[in-house]
């Protein structure tokens, strides 16, 4: 079960590219152009979109409990997309130094997991808090701590750091050693945390928000844009970002079933997801009437 992690798989296992490239040289060049465009275009859009969100929230907009989450989500998505962008550059550069390649890929891979996990955790927190505000509006308005969003974000960044470090350790060291049980325990813990805790909370929150939107009278539907935006964002995440997590799980337990084509597609889908998240801010900004400083 010794397997490199996702981004390291893309950087170091260049021989795997033969699995997805056509045989003829002309077709191969055309294929590489398609891969280049498919990765670079959403990557540039994602870096630009999240960068604009960061600029607005840092310098132009007065923050509230919701925009604090959006700011942290933009940072996490920017971090994730940047790691993918650097990975693609390393592949194109075709580094000849094994030592340099090793340390570059080490840093990039840690950033990859850190950004991915934080983005997922923050989306869960956004949906859960909106859900609580719908179910218990009076309690939330009267008892919600003033800086709860900042505390939750700090906790989720810390949790993501710990989980990312554990996941990286489980994938980069020898699972055939005496620590094999530790590796398996980390993999199982990661699956439980993502699929039995955070994913159900995310889905349940979205369902509650959906039911809330449907029950509101037509004249109040214009007030539910925030909830609709959150639901759409969560659904996009489950469709486009979950394949990376599923691919990693399969690659750990059944590595022979995972091809380079599957890894590239899953990473590309996740880039698209992180590039779409700035819509959470732009779609809600007018509804919430955020004030300029």
- The more confidently predicted of residues 280 and 116 is 116
- The more confidently predicted of residues 47 and 290 is 47
Over 80: is that where the pLDDT of 116 sits?
Answer: yes
Residue 110 exposure: Cα atoms within 13 Å on the Cβ side: 10
Percent of the chain with pLDDT over 70: 73
CB 21 within 8 A of CB 42: no
The listed range with the strongest mean pLDDT (29-33, 106-110, 174-178) is: 106-110
Task: Dump pLDDT digits (tens) for 53-73.
Answer: 999 888 888 788 888 998 999
Q: What is the pLDDT of residue 5?
A: 58
| CATH number attached to the domain at 6-288 | 1.20.1070.10
> How confident is the model over 26-38, as a mean pLDDT?
62
Any idea which of 155-159, 173-177, 208-212, 271-275 has the lowest mean pLDDT?
A: 173-177
Place of tokens 């933009």: 74
Burial (CB count <10 Å: 0-12, 13-18, 19+), residue 250: middle
Q: What is the pLDDT of residue 209?
A: 85
């Amino acid at each position: 079960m010794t397997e490199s992690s996702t981004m390291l798989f893309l950087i170091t296992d260049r021989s795997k590219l033969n699995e997805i490239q056509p045989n003829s040289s002309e077709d191969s060049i055309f294929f590489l152009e398609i891969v280049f465009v498919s990765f670079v275009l959403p990557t540039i859009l994602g870096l630009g979109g999240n960068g604009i969100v960061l600029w607005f929230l840092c310098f132009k907009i007065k923050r509230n409990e919701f925009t604090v989450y959006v700011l942290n989500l933009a940072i996490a998505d920017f971090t994730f997309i940047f790691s993918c962008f650097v990975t693609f550059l390393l592949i194109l550069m075709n580094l000849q130094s094994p030592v340099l390649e090793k340390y570059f890929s080490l840093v990039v891979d840690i950033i990859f997991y850190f950004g991915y996990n934080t983005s997922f955790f923050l989306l869960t927190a956004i949906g859960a808090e909106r859900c609580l505000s719908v179910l218990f509006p009076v309690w939330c308005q009267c008892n919600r701590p003033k800086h709860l969003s900042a505390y939750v974000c700090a906790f989720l960044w810390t949790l993501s750091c710990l989980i990312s470090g554990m996941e990286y350790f489980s994938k980069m060291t020898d699972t055939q050693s005496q620590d094999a049980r530790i590796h398996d325990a980390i993999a199982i813990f990661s699956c439980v945390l993502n699929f039995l805790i955070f994913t159900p909370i995310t889905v349940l929150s979205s369902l509650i928000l959906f039911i809330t939107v449907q029950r509101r009278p037509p004249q109040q539907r214009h007030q539910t844009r925030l909830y609709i935006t959150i639901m759409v964002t969560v659904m996009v995440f489950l469709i486009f970002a979950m394949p990376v997590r599923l691919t990693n799980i399969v690659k750990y337990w059944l590595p022979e079933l995972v091809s380079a084509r599957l890894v590239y597609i899953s990473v590309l889908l996740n880039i698209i997801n992180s590039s779409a998240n700035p819509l959470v801010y732009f779609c809600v900004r007018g509804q919430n009437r955020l004030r300029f400083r």
